Amino acid sequence: MIPRPMTPIVVFAAWASLGMKNSSGSVRRARVVLHGEQADSGRSHRMSPSKNPYKDPWWERVVADGVPPRPGSHGVSDADTFDVIVAGAGAGGYVTAIVAAQGGASVLILEAAAEGGGTTYKSGAGMWVPDNSLMLARGRGPNRDWAIHHMARLAFPKVYDADAPNLGLEQRDYDLIETYYEHAATALDELRDLGFPLMEFPSFTGNYEAMVEYHSDTENGFGAHLAPMKDTGEYGAGVHMVARLEAMAVARGVEMRTEHRVTGVIQDADGAVIGVTATTPGGDVELHARRGVVFATGGYPHNRELAAENFPGGLYGSCAVPTARGDFIAIATELGAELGNMGEGWGTEHPLEQMVRDGEVAEHNGTYPGDSVLMVNGAGKRVVNEKMTYHERSKIHFVRDEDGGLPNHLMFIVFDRFIVEDETSQPNKWPDPNPSNYWVISGETLDDLAAQIAARLEGLSEATGGYTLKPEFAANLKATVERFHAFARNGVDEDFHRGETDIELDWTGPSHVENDKNPTMWPLDDGPYYAIIMAGSVLDTNGGPRASAAGEILRADGSVIPGLYGVGNCVASVAGAGYWSGGSTLGPIVTFATLTGKHLAAQPARELQAS
């Protein structure tokens, strides 16, 4: 169930990264412990500042020269007819508009919210682009075969077969992945040439020359992640990406009108889409498009009904902006569009109480920080590697048991004072463990903590549908902690192999100075203990109408609905069930928006006669 979205929160996405092999073939591993002595902690924590990979606060560096505002309406005229109408002013909408306008089309963007930028504005703005020009300039790649296999395996794991034709995928799915590889690097180069400076996404830890890859089988280690570059030559986040795209659109005469929620389309006698209807503060309007209408309106996480239908147990909230309500799904299916990838999204986790309160939440991704931390389900048992990357880890919340139940619907992070007192600046330190936060629960003993969790859940009963802990939770929690302690003392997680991949070792956060076996695991102190209730969430969903590489919306028989287009999270994603790496959202969005904009610019103008 999803609470009504409240005031938007604008923050950043901190993505996880992998350790990579150096020239000698060994793996460079990051290990962080605290600087100085923590009062009354029961243990000594110290670290040389020079060994701290988490340098100054990351976000403060990014916005040192100010935070660009979200864009408002621009270039507004009295016109009601354009070559192209785009619904949605995030990256997908803006890039489509810019490329179409560059090709000579007149373009109108309609944004449902009072300000543009969409969820892109909140993001880290990374774009995963295999074999991009900056990679190749460094001598990394090309690796076409690896990239195609990597994308196919993660997108369609149930059918992937390395030895089968099309790797076991349906032809259309394989073709779309292949198209992404063939056009992504060129699309980003072309965007750069239009005035969008690019750089390699920087390493958050500073241990590498650029952000390293998300998956441990990745060849070449790093370099596939691109990001906006500010005029200063420094990395720019989503706020800077949107500001740059807005300026590029304005320079090309693109008009944008905010508070225009598209509610339907207008068709001619042949069924071609030639315009839209929209609600505005001044009433309903009709606007017409000679070449096509493009939807770039985001996913559906804030649509309670769609979320409950496609995600077991529903969603309590999302990082996506509140306008991500799945409007395009209803509009497109009315016209006969085939849906795909429903029930998939860019997975993450968030504190239940934050989502219940706000609906729209901050876009933070990473791994639970520190070594003396574990996570259990409602029965008090560990069921997942807590250091696993966020997209994969989040899937545990939606897994049904043999009886159809959801044993991991809610999960509980349990940690000690060492985690609370850590003052290390690290971009993946989320959720904030400070007890002053309303989502943190405290208990002097594990029994007390279990009782406090139960009491907190009772107060959340209306939001959760009456969720309660299993009767054996407290006993199992104590047994689970003891088992975890044994693993930590030996340095080996026999249940879930925590700390055995490079990404976990690089992004685990601070570990105790005595910890010389496994930097991701350490026994918890004797109390007090702390907990946070976590629920599965999404950065956004990524299912919807199926689209061609040119953004054309398709019927089940493969035919095109003329004049109707879609890009971004409102259509079925090329990534399927996978998350190829940080930037797997914006990389495809920018690429296919570019192809869609070019396609529209080349279309002949239709005679506008509504049916």
Structure tokens at 568: 């971004």
pLDDT score of 218? 67
DSSP string for residues in 502-530: HHHHHHS-B--TT--S-TT-----SS-EE
pLDDT of 432: 87
Q: Which CATH superfamily is domain 81-345+539-601 in?
A: FAD/NAD(P)-binding domain (3.50.50.60)
pLDDT at residue 208, as a whole number = 62
Instruction: Yes or no: say if 182 and 147 are a contact pair by the CB < 8 Å rule.
Output: no
Q: According to the model, what pLDDT value does residue 35 have?
A: 25
Q: Is the pLDDT of residue 5 over 60?
A: no
Q: Which of 590, 580, 592 is CA-nearest to residue 198? A: 590
Q: State the Cα–Cα distance between residues 583 and 411, nearest whole angstrom.
A: 26
pLDDT band at 507 (very low <50, low <70, confident <90, very high): confident
Cα–Cα distance measured from residue 60 to residue 70, given in angstroms and rounded to the nearest whole number:
19
Q: How far apart are CA 166 and CA 174, in angstroms?
A: 6
Average pLDDT over residues 479-485: 99
- Number of H-type helices and E-type strands within the chain: 16, 18
pLDDT bracket for residue 22 (50, 70, 90): very low
- All CATH 3.50.50.60 domain ranges of the chain, comma separated, are 81-345+539-601
Structure-token pair, residue 248: 């590029």
The maximal CA–CA distance of the chain, rounded, in angstroms, is 78
- The least confident of 259-268, 330-339, 514-523 is 514-523
Residues sharing a CB contact under 8 Å with residue 481, sequence separation 6 or more, in sequence order: 374, 414, 446, 524
pLDDT in tens, 155-210: 999 999 999 999 999 999 999 999 999 999 999 999 999 999 999 988 766 666 67
Residue 443: band (very low, low, confident or very high) from pLDDT cuts 50, 70, 90: very high
In which band, very low, low, confident or very high, does the pLDDT at 259 lie, cut at 50, 70 and 90?
A: very high
* 572 phi and psi angles, rounded to 5 deg: -65, 125
Q: Where in the chain is the domain with CATH 3.90.700.10?
A: 367-537
Assess whether pLDDT exceeds 50 at residue 460: yes
One-letter amino acid identity for 71?
Answer: P
In this model, does residue 39 exceed pLDDT 80? no
Where residue 141 falls among pLDDT bands split at 50, 70, 90? confident
Chain centroid to CA 24: 34
pLDDT value for 2: 33
Closest CA to 150 of 215, 76, 233, 70: 215
Using 50, 70 and 90 to split pLDDT, how confident is the model at 12?
very low
The stretch 507-518 carries a mean pLDDT of 86
More confident residue, 422 or 485: 485
* Signed CA dihedral, 384, 389, 394, 395: sign only: negative
**Is it the case that residue 13 has pLDDT exceeding 70?**
no
Pairing of strands 107-110, 81-87: parallel
50 or 467: which leads in pLDDT:
467
Please check the confidence at residue 37 and state whether its pLDDT lies above 50: no
Q: Contact at 8 Å (CB) between 468 and 54?
A: no
Between 27-31, 69-73, 473-477, the lowest mean confidence (pLDDT) is in 27-31
**Chain centroid, CA 467 distance in Å:** 27
Mean pLDDT over each residue of the chain, to the nearest integer: 88
Model confidence over 395-404: pLDDT tens digits?
Answer: 999 999 999 9
Answer whether residue 439 shows pLDDT above 80: yes
How far is Cα 536 from Cα 517, in angstroms, rounded to an integer? 31
Flag the least confident range among 3-7, 32-36, 86-90, 500-504.
32-36
pLDDT at 26 over 90: no
pLDDT at res. 130: 95
User: Is residue 558 predicted with pLDDT exceeding 60?
Assistant: yes
Q: How confident is the model at residue 114 (pLDDT cuts 50, 70, 90)?
A: very high
> Residue 99 has which token pair?
């490329």
Whats the size of the chain, residue-wise?
Answer: 611
Beta-sheet pairing, 255-257 with 107-110: parallel
Pairing status of strand 339-340 against strand 544-545: antiparallel
Neighbours of 490 (CB within 10 A): 12
Give the pLDDT score at 10: 33
pLDDT band at residue 215, thresholds of 50, 70 and 90? confident
pLDDT at 426: 58
Rounded distance, CA 611 to CA 594, Å? 31
Q: Supply the CATH classification number for the domain 367-537.
A: 3.90.700.10
pTM, entire model: 0.90
C-alpha angle 280-286-291 in degrees, rounded to nearest 5: 120
What pLDDT score does 202 carry?
83
Digit-coded pLDDT (tens) for 273-332? 999 999 999 999 999 999 999 999 999 999 999 999 999 999 999 999 999 999 999 999
